[in-house]
Structure 1
């Protein structure tokens, strides 16, 4: 049992070194850094490789984390983000009376992570958790574009309604305005009859974590109302989220 625990500890030490390294590592380098003999290192690396945690770059001896580790890290980060923003979404819903959302960017699309709608309305917004939507014609998506690193010239600017942005230069102009104002407003650009507003959320290091906002029937959300909600959501979101 003691030997098993020791092997587990060493395996985790190796995996930790590989995960947090900003460049590929070799078995020799790992042996030197962790003071592990070559035979033990070879055995542990073989086990990590077999389980899909690490991979070799082509035919070289350089070791990097496997894609599954990126997936696991991303999933864990998102779960924390959902937990830390739950109260924010509740506050936003209570303030606006409209369905509130948390979203992130994934593969040049908007991915909904969470939604809060405690209204008793007969007609409610559909559940979108896990669904995707375009970035260029949703308030949440525009916030992610304005404060993120996506290249808008590579986006597919599909025209969903007559209000959809169709050219990248017009979209860029709008994104510049969103950066200046700190929020995005969308009026029937993705679906007729629906409007939305969103703001970015950052951590203490000012890194973009995602976007939060609301969406509802355009009949209830006039331009003035959307502006009012935007400023209110900005105040609610004034607290930083530490991930």
Structure 2
């Protein structure tokens, strides 16, 4: 192990204490910190007092050490979308490497599905950049996932026909939702535009579906093995959900 530069020992020790508290799910006692860090109790006490003054650490009602107010301040300055993208980004890249296709993350907004992050396909022939685009949810795999798991209300009346395979009534859309819930994913083939297939799965936070993760690409590459690919997408969506469950709860993204 490379020794720390001269004059940084106190900083390194204080940083280590902060890291131990932040990485622990619940409050950490003074004795646990002193023992796990290997520091003298007097040194631990002095460093914790300095970290408390700087609001990097704080004590709960029972005296246990928890992350300080500066962490809360930082978290509140970030949007829910940013936190969601942070939790999903590495898994989206892994899904892209596994499938080679465009990977999207979408949320319900303004009565439809909006893409908030995308990883481009590795192929020359891929999908367009959907980030920031309002997609007709009834023709989208991500949208159908959000409908199926009550993250998006099903619209009433007639629906726009974008292709000959588009769903055109709320009754037809509603009839598809139990199957999507049972499968844990949605597949759309040539519904948004001819030649485009989408596959989506739910992303949950503390049990509530707040987003959908999916892949999209040419029908000739995706449609034949869509269900097998959907199982892969669903597994990656569950990985994002597990990561979100370890973030402080701030409500739906």
TM-score normalised to structure 2 length? 0.62
Alignment of 1:74-223 (within 5 A): 76-117=79-120, 119=122, 121-154=123-156, 157-203=159-205, 205-223=206-224
Q: Per-residue CA shift, 1:23-46, capped at 9, x if unaligned? A: xxxxxxxxxxxxxxxxxxxxxxxx
Does the 8 Å CA contact 1:108/1:155 hold for their aligned counterparts?
no
Q: Per-residue CA shift, 1:158-207, capped at 9, x if unaligned? A: 0000100112111111011101111000000010010010000001x201
Does the 8 Å CA contact 1:110/1:140 hold for their aligned counterparts?
yes
Tell me the CA shift for residue 141 of structure 1.
0.5
In the alignment, what sits opposite 1:31?
Answer: none
In the alignment, what sits opposite 2:68?
Answer: none
Tell me the CA shift for residue 219 of structure 1.
1.1
In the alignment, what sits opposite 1:227?
Answer: 227
Q: Per-residue CA shift, 1:44-96, capped at 9, x if unaligned? A: xxxxxxxxxxxxxxxxxxxxxxxxxxxxx797111100111001111111111
SS in 2 for 1:152: coil
Structure 1 residues 190, 80: closer, same or farther in 2, change over 3 A?
A: same
> What count of residue pairs does the alignment treat as equivalent?
169
- Name structure 2 gaps, 5 residues minimum: 1-75, 248-253
- Name structure 1 gaps, 5 residues minimum: 1-72
Find the aligned partners of 1:139 and 1:74 in 2 and give their Cα distance: 31
